[in-house]
Structure 1
Amino acid sequence: MNRREFLVTAAAAGLAGCATSGEKKCCAKAGACGGKMLFGVCRPLKDAALLKKHGYDFFETGVAGILKPTCSEEEWKKQKELILNAPIPLRSCNGFIPGTFRITGPKADFAPALDYAEKALRRAEEVGVKTIVFGSGGARNVPGDICGDRAQRPDTEKGLLQYTEFCRLLCKRVEDLKTVSIVIEPLRPNESNIINYVWQGMQVVRDVNSPRLEQLADIYHMISGRECARSIVEAGCHLKHCHIACKATRKFPGTRPDDAEIFKPYFDALKQIGYTGGVSCECGWPTEEKEFEKALDTALALMKSLA
């Protein structure tokens, strides 16, 4: 399939599917509540003032560096003040489970990962974070078994069951929380061997059936994996966060002149479900300051034109 065929197929098929009746009701409610999409950038706390200057609503950054799940309560108290006094809200965090933890495969060990994740989620709720992005390819990718001197193919079916059980146990631990959600991030096949598509993430969301577990749509990964926008409609009110980057370069939206055309079916789907969550630019940016600021304006203008 060439680039033009992909665009036509995505546009034609993107909104063809129907959500379930429950999702339709939820989406109708979301639309009736009004509101608008919120736009942010995956950048550190030190860039929050610059993002505010250029009109962004929030910033997103890594769990380990901002929520510091391994640091003491005294250290956290100082960090918490910095976050709460940031020029714009910390609405989302990514990089949830470090690759040093194993949650799938024969050496999976849930206990330390659950402790780390629970601490991160509790601290996230304290500072108003709405979504914790569960991509974490290093922790979730299913390793192959070693049989003698030969590596065997990963048992991804078993790995998915382990991943689902981890999510279930974690949600049980934090069922008392009220506002923060874990959002499952599908990763393209060359980055993860389980949960490559939004519909696969939604299977886990439905199996676990907890208000603490919801879905993310990464438009870059969706386009890379040729997943059409219909998956967004089918996720409906379970969709709580989005990522975006230019398909060809993984740089900021607006890098290429056809970015708007490529992204349009996905934003149309978001509008169809009344989406009012965050859309974060998770992408590469120019290193030179003036060019970076110009790129921030370009990206925001493009996203707002589609929202």
Structure 2
Amino acid sequence: MNQLENHHYSRRDFLKGVTIALAGIPIADTLALPGLSELSDYSLPIGICASYDKAGMLKQLGYSFVEESVGRFLIPDAGDEQYAKNRQAIETENIPVRSYIYFFPGSLKSVGPDTHHEAILKRADLALRRAKECGSKNIVFGSGGSRAIPDGFDRAKAKMQHIDLCQKMAPLAEKYGVTLAVEPLNRSETNFINSLAEGVEIIQAVNNPWFKLQCDIYHMLKDNESPDEIVKYGQYITHCHIAEKQSRTAPGVMGDDFKPYFRALKKIAYKGGLSLECVWKDFDSEAAQGLAVVKKQWADA
């Protein structure tokens, strides 16, 4: 890097060039690309679901935040001492943990003949309190294994069980000022809450402003859910995830076109976070490429 500085290149310019090159765009041609000139003014926060030990590199690439795991970052197996180290890391790296995935494990059941609501609420209280301490905005409430309805179990009863849990959980989110984002998952991952519409049914039943909707473009693509649903339910959306449809690869690996979904997000004037939640083969290069592709497609949408 010192050699680059001697040639009058800033670190930011160098990393921007690396990102563009990894996206398959010749650096010399970047000024001619439509929409690329606006990328310096790009306001939508883009993050990535990753371990916080990658924070320094992600900040250099231009990511706005990291999205961590509840179990790894807020309630780690190593206990309170590790959590304290995690909090300190945020101050050291100076890139926020905006959100968290993996709220609670599938072994804690929200529906079915044997539920674990008390244990779930205890975990939720600790996670939300610590998320507040870390300055985070939301926790994604996916946990598809927990909410999967057992074969033969009454679906209406399961729905009421889940709503009852959420009605008790939402006041905890309100107390700590951290939003819970209900995440619809595709039908190959769970059999309950598979669309934005079904997520909104739960949100409307809970009726708390700290209990909102997660929009995951990967899951929408997997189940052929229209971008129009984003416009329809835009008032509830607080956070978004993205990955390519076939194998949950990072944007740019297979070349998926996300622009119809981006146009829908623009139509609702979406200003929340957008995280890459992907299956990685080469994290460093795909993270750089993914950021460039998302920015380019957003600019062109």
TM-score by length of 1: 0.79
Q: Is the 8 A contact 1:69 1:119 kept in 2?
A: no
The residue correspondences of 1:140-159 to structure 2 (distance < 5 A) are 140-144=147-151, 153-159=152-158
Once the 2 structures are TM-superposed, how far is the Cα of residue 92 of structure 1 from its aligned partner?
A: 0.8
Q: Is the 8 A contact 1:69 1:116 kept in 2?
A: no
Q: Is the 8 A contact 2:173 2:180 kept in 1?
A: no
Which SS does the other structure have where 1:132 is aligned? strand
Deviation sequence 1:155-178 (CA, Å, 0-9, x none):
222212111111110112343222
Q: Is the 8 A contact 1:141 1:192 kept in 2?
A: yes
Greater alpha carbon shift after TM alignment, 230-239 vs 76-85: 76-85
Among candidates 274, 293, 301, match of residue 302 of structure 1: 293
Among candidates 134, 144, 150, match of residue 141 of structure 2: 134
Output the CA distance in 2 between the equivalents of 1:71 and 1:110: 24
Q: Is the 8 A contact 2:218 2:243 kept in 1?
A: yes
Once the 2 structures are TM-superposed, how far is the Cα of residue 137 of structure 1 from its aligned partner?
A: 1.1
1:113 aligned residue:
120
Output the CA distance in 2 between the equivalents of 1:53 and 1:251: 22
Output the CA distance in 2 between the equivalents of 1:140 and 1:269: 28
Structure 1: runs of 5+ lacking an equivalent:
1-33, 145-152
Among candidates 53, 77, 91, match of residue 46 of structure 1: 53
Once the 2 structures are TM-superposed, how far is the Cα of residue 75 of structure 1 from its aligned partner?
A: 5.2
The residue correspondences of 1:1-307 to structure 2 (distance < 5 A) are 36-68=43-75, 76-144=83-151, 153-178=152-177, 180-257=178-255, 259-260=256-257, 263-287=258-282, 292-307=283-298
- Compared CA separation, residues 78 and 301, structure 1 to 2 (3 A): closer
Once the 2 structures are TM-superposed, how far is the Cα of residue 140 of structure 1 from its aligned partner?
A: 1.1
Letter of the 1:215 partner, please give it.
Answer: L
Output the CA distance in 1 between the equivalents of 2:82 and 2:243: 34
Once the 2 structures are TM-superposed, how far is the Cα of residue 89 of structure 1 from its aligned partner?
A: 0.8
Number of corresponding residues: 258
Output the CA distance in 1 between the equivalents of 2:260 and 2:84: 43
Once the 2 structures are TM-superposed, how far is the Cα of residue 72 of structure 1 from its aligned partner?
A: 5.8
**Residue identity (%):** 38
Output the CA distance in 2 between the equivalents of 1:67 and 1:173: 16
Structure 2: runs of 5+ lacking an equivalent:
1-40
Output the CA distance in 1 between the equivalents of 2:59 and 2:86: 20
Greater alpha carbon shift after TM alignment, 44-53 vs 232-241: 232-241
Letter of the 1:164 partner, please give it.
Answer: I
Once the 2 structures are TM-superposed, how far is the Cα of residue 128 of structure 1 from its aligned partner?
A: 1.3
Output the CA distance in 2 between the equivalents of 1:160 and 1:37: 34
Once the 2 structures are TM-superposed, how far is the Cα of residue 306 of structure 1 from its aligned partner?
A: 2.6
Higher relative contact order (CA 8 A, sep 6+): 1
Q: Is the 8 A contact 1:186 1:216 kept in 2?
A: yes
Deviation sequence 1:212-245 (CA, Å, 0-9, x none):
2110111010011111011111222321111111
- Compared CA separation, residues 251 and 216, structure 1 to 2 (3 A): same
Output the CA distance in 2 between the equivalents of 1:297 and 1:73: 33
Letter of the 2:168 partner, please give it.
Answer: L
Output the CA distance in 2 between the equivalents of 1:300 and 1:91: 17
Output the CA distance in 2 between the equivalents of 1:124 and 1:215: 18
Which SS does the other structure have where 1:160 is aligned? helix
Which SS does the other structure have where 1:176 is aligned? helix
Q: Is the 8 A contact 2:142 2:184 kept in 1?
A: yes
Output the CA distance in 2 between the equivalents of 1:159 and 1:203: 14
Letter of the 1:37 partner, please give it.
Answer: L
2:13 aligned residue:
none
Letter of the 1:156 partner, please give it.
Answer: R
Once the 2 structures are TM-superposed, how far is the Cα of residue 70 of structure 1 from its aligned partner?
A: 7.3
Which SS does the other structure have where 2:99 is aligned? strand
Output the CA distance in 2 between the equivalents of 1:229 and 1:84: 38
2:34 aligned residue:
none
